[in-house]
Amino acid sequence: MRKLGFTLAEVLITLGIIGVIATLTLPTLMSNTAEREYSTAIKKAISSLTESVQMQVALENVSFDEMIDASSDGDSGFSTENASLYAFLATRMQTEKLGNMGTADVCADGATSGTANCLDYSAPASTFSHAMFFRDGSALIFNDADKIETHTDCYDTQGVQRNCFKVIYDVNGTKKPNALANCLGLEGKAKDLEAGSDAFDIKYDTEGNLSTESATCNKDNFNARDQYPLYLYGIGAYPGSMATRYIYNKK
């Protein structure tokens, strides 16, 4: 009589083959999913910032180019009455709270700074001092004392150098990994990069030192992370690094 079904050996071999295939394809699948999520988030953030500053221009005749630092009008601390980057975020964006970098204000679930889910950076306060949290859980990391003339080394979409605000957009706020997306291939995958003076167009040079020279970004050397530098100038928000441009333009 002919027997139906599979032997135990055949089943085990089949399961083994399936396991090998899953091992080979699952990391790529997860990476592609993360990239799509980050791409959607970056496009949404840039669109929201651009629409909000255009509304600011229509209502107050103040673009990013006219914004001042948060205390230069004589107010103590932060004020939504002046034309600062903070005032713009607080009045034109759907924000939840403002936190000082490196304090419990930027930690989730009651965590202590530096020990758990915190936006805590080694960069000096003069680089990024505060984080503004949005209702979708994302955050914009910026310096409250910045003025548009603070950074003169930004480049517009035509490659022309101009002044801007430099900020970091964190797709998921306090959630890990709290590291910069980069185009450093295996080097960038082995070492997460923290926000600092080298955050924009960051790469390693041939001697292994950090450099701000532009890198070529592609699917082979891009490392998806949750933080993306942005330029703010005029009436728009724009990608501020090769990694941000890559994920923003990803289909």
pLDDT tens digits for the chain (251 residues)?
A: 555 666 777 777 888 777 777 666 656 655 677 888 999 999 999 999 999 999 999 988 889 988 887 766 555 556 777 788 888 998 898 888 888 776 655 665 554 444 445 665 444 445 777 888 898 889 998 887 777 777 777 777 777 788 888 889 999 888 878 888 888 887 777 766 665 555 676 665 555 555 555 567 888 888 888 889 899 999 999 998 888 989 998 87
The pair of three-digit structure tokens given for residue 214, joined into one six-digit string: 């532009």
Rounded (10°) CA dihedral 181, 187, 191, 192: 0
- Kindly list the distances between the CA atom of residue 37 and the CA atoms of 27, 47, 137, 245, in Å, as whole numbers in the listed order: 15, 15, 14, 15
- Domain boundaries of the chain, sorted by first residue: 8-249
Q: Cis bond leading into 239, ω under 30°?
A: no
pTM tops 0.85, yes or no:
no
The answer to whether the beta carbons of residues 101 and 80 sit under 8 Å apart is no
